Amino acid sequence: MNRMKKTIAFVMAAIMLLLCGCGAANSDNGSDKAKENTGERHKVIIDTDTGSDDAAGLILAASSEQIDILGITVLYGNVSLDKAAENALMTLEVCNTEAPVYIGADKPLKKERKDMVSVHGKDGMGDQDLIHPKRTAEKGDAVDFILDTIKSDPDEVEIIALGPLTNIALAIQKDPDTMKRCKRIWAMGTTGFGVGNATPVAEFNVYNDAEAYDQVLRAELPMTIIGLDMMGVEESKFNKDELTKMAQGNEKGVFLSKAVTKLFAFNQESGQNMMLPDPMAVGCLVWPDMLQETKACYGEVCTDNDATYGQVILYQEGAVYEAMPQIGSYHLDVVTKIDTKLFKDNFMSLLTE
C-alpha cells in the first residue's frame, strides 16, 4: 500500500514537473513572440539636405529599433552639398550609426539655386563648431545608390525624404521601372492644408525644386506627405524649457540642443516656439499610433515662375471638383491629424534618458 502511494506521488510529481516545463516553454515562446511583434521593421533610405531639423530626424531614425537605415543620400537645400554630407556624417557618429552617406544633387532640376536665408546657421547646425566627422562620404552617387538598393530588395525599401525631392526625381528619370518598386516615400514637404514658410503658399522643400516635386507626384508612387500644417499647433512646438532639458540630457540631446541654436532663435524672433517637422515626419513611421488620420489625395505642383511657384494643390478623394472632373489616382496619403503629445514625449525621451 505504501509502495503504491509512493508510486502515485512520484507520477503526480512527474506530471506537475512536465506541466511546469510546458508552461515555461510557452512563456518563453510568448516572450519571443512579443519581441517579434513590437512593430514592423522598415528598410529605409533617408534623403536629406541636413540642417539641424533634419539632424533631429536622423537622430530619431538612428535611435529606433523599427528602422534599418540602409543609407543616407544628401543634396543641396538648407546648406551646400558638402555641408549636408558632413552634417549627416556627424549626426550618425553621435548616434553610433555606421550607415553609408552618398552625395547627390547640388542644384535643382531646371532652375538656378535660390539663395534663401538659412535659419540653421551658415553650417546648418547652429554654427557651434560641432561638425568634425571621422568618416567621409562614399564614392558612389546618391541616385545610383537609391536605384541599386531598390533593385536588390524590390517592394521592401522605403524612402524618408526630408529635403527637396531632386535626388528622387533624378532616380525616376533614370530608371522609372525600378522606382515603381519603391515600397513608399515618406515626405516632409508641402504646406499640407495650411500656409507656407518659403512663401505664403509654398513650403521650403518644395520651393527649392518645384519641378522635382512635380515629377515625383506625377510618377504616382505610394507616398505619405507630412505637411507643414502638422507643426501649426502650439503643442507640437518646442519651448525654452524643453530645449534646456535637451541640453541637460544624453549625448544626442546635448548635440541637438546646440545644433538647433539658430533655428530656435529664428523662431523666437517671430514670437514662436521652435518647429521640428523632420523628426515628426520620421515619427509617423516609427510610432504608428502617432499617425491618427490621413486623407487620400491627388496632388499638382505649381511650377510657373510667379507668386504661386512651389504651391502644391491637393485634391481630396470624395470631393467634387466641377472645373476639373478628371483627376489622377489618389495615391497620396496626406497626414491631417497627429498625436503631438505622443510625438513630443517619445522624442524627448530619446534625448534625455
Q: How confident is the model at residue 115 (pLDDT cuts 50, 70, 90)?
A: low
Position 126 pLDDT exceeds 70: yes
Using a pLDDT cut of 90, give the percent of the chain over it: 75
Position 302 pLDDT exceeds 70: yes
Position 81 pLDDT exceeds 80: yes
pLDDT for res 328: 77
Looking at the domain 42-352, which fold is it?
A: Inosine-uridine Nucleoside N-ribohydrolase; Chain A (3.90.245)
Using a pLDDT cut of 70, give the percent of the chain over it: 88
C-alpha 344/C-alpha 20 separation (Å) is 44
6-10, 122-126, 136-140, 183-187: least confident range: 6-10
Strand-pair partners of 187: 161, 225
pLDDT for res 307: 96
pLDDT for res 37: 35
Position 294 pLDDT exceeds 60: yes
pLDDT for res 117: 57
- Mean pLDDT for the stretch of residues 83-109: 97
pLDDT for res 116: 60
Position 35 pLDDT exceeds 80: no
pTM > 0.95: no
Q: 312-316 and 291-301 as β-strands: parallel, antiparallel, unpaired?
A: antiparallel
End-to-end CA distance of the chain: 65
Mean pLDDT over the full length of the chain: 88
pLDDT for res 186: 98
* Torsion angle, alpha carbons of 27, 31, 32, 37, to 10: 130
Position 7 pLDDT exceeds 70: no
Position 317 pLDDT exceeds 90: yes
pLDDT for res 111: 85
Position 6 pLDDT exceeds 50: no
If one compares 322 and 239, the residue with the highest pLDDT of the two is 239
- Mean pLDDT for the stretch of residues 97-114: 93
C-alpha 282/C-alpha 89 separation (Å) is 18
Position 113 pLDDT exceeds 70: yes
Position 309 pLDDT exceeds 80: yes
pLDDT for res 21: 39
pLDDT for res 28: 34
Position 343 pLDDT exceeds 70: yes
